[in-house]
Amino acid sequence: MNTQVYVLYGGKSVEHEISKRTALAIINALDKEKYDVYSIYINNEGIWCNTGKVTEELKELREGEVDVDMTPTLSLATVLQECFSPGREHVVIPALHGTYGEDGTIQGLLELIDVPYIGNGIMPSAIGIDKAMTKEIFSKVGIPQAEYVFFTIQEWRRRDSQIFEQIENKIGYPCFVKPAKLGSSVGVHRCQNRDELIEALKDAFTFDQKVVVDKEVIGREMQVAVIGNENPECSVAGEYILEKSFMDYNAKYVDGNLIPVIPAHIPDSLHKKMQEISQQAFQVLNGSGLMRVDFFVTEENDLYVNEVNTFPGFTGHSMFPALWEATNGMTYPEIIETFIDLAIERHQNSRQIQYTRGE
């Protein structure tokens, strides 16, 4: 019997629409003769809906009918009962970005029900989405980063004047304000003075209760894609030609003006160093499956890790698959199959762990 592959999409997240783009590309790329492919939609309120088996290419995703009396808990229980029957091999592709998808929550659920899933586990997902915690861990192992500070909304309310002083003395202007646990540049602002900083913090705190403020690094933005479990491999580095001081949500997903350059035009020695740092970042976070590591590269060829993405955007036009195609010719469907194989491998390894005491 074919392996049953369930693609989760949507989710209770500001990155809901991006998730749908990723899921549509993945569903259409999956070999329907090799896998039985099913789609599961999660709406903006967290209601789960089994939208059924997919046997042909989709033009758009199904969202299904949701009972008005349904609750997230009841809908989840219904979907679990319908989908994960005993005696079949299942793999879940959580094509979910941001909150409740990339933050360890869905990974924890899948661990509890003992179903293999592609991508990173609970810890790397929870840490990787939290820019503050990622930066703290990277600082302990010497991964180069720009100067940063972070604080919660409670700290901000208690001692805003001291935080202003800390930002202006340590970081300076221009600086970048970011919600700690979001991606896709949602809630991110470049600030050139205190008035802009105040407005940026107000907006960032609507998306998260913790924010990060980074020192601006003047340089090119580059990315390296990582695939693997215990022995991760790195792609060549790629970059986007920037038309703005930073790539906000519209620049990335609406305007369509990004110009990728793969491989990036950098010396071989710098390329190798980026791959080494990317592998180090993946391993220190205990990554599995995939990760994208984002860099700033200055005119002097100094490297700074900006952030990691534990489940990056994955449409046919995204940087991650383009990087691997340029590295070794791996096609989009081949990458998806590699992810599935890695998920099954990690799940089988986890089953070697003993959860009861021997007599």
Residues in the annotated binding site for Mg(2+): 294, 307, 309
Where helices occur in 30-121 by DSSP H, the ranges are 72-83, 105-112
Is 334 considered catalytic here? no
The answer for 282, left when phi > 0, alpha when psi is -120 to 50, beta otherwise, is: alpha
How many C-beta atoms lie closer than 10 Å to residue 284's C-beta? 16
Beta bridge partners of 240: 260
Answer for the pair 124, 308: CB distance below 8 angstroms, yes or no: no
DSSP 140: H
Q: Which of 19, 75, 125, 184 is catalytic?
A: 184
How many C-beta atoms lie closer than 10 Å to residue 192's C-beta? 12
Q: Which of 13, 15, 125, 216 is catalytic?
A: 15
Cα separations (Å) of 127 from 110, 136, 217, 314?
18, 10, 23, 21
Phi, psi of 268 (to 5 degrees): -60, -35
Is 184 considered catalytic here? yes
CA–CA separation, 126 and 145 (whole Å): 20
Q: What are the binding residues?
A: 294, 307, 309
Give the up-direction half-sphere exposure of residue 115: CA atoms within 13 A in the CB hemisphere. 25
DSSP 148: E
Which of 111, 38, 121, 122 is closest to 289 using CA atoms? Answer: 121
Amino acid at position 326, single letter: A
Is 15 considered catalytic here? yes
Amino acid at position 96, single letter: L
CA–CA separation, 325 and 225 (whole Å): 11
The answer for 180, left when phi > 0, alpha when psi is -120 to 50, beta otherwise, is: alpha
Give the catalytic positions in this structure.
15, 184, 318
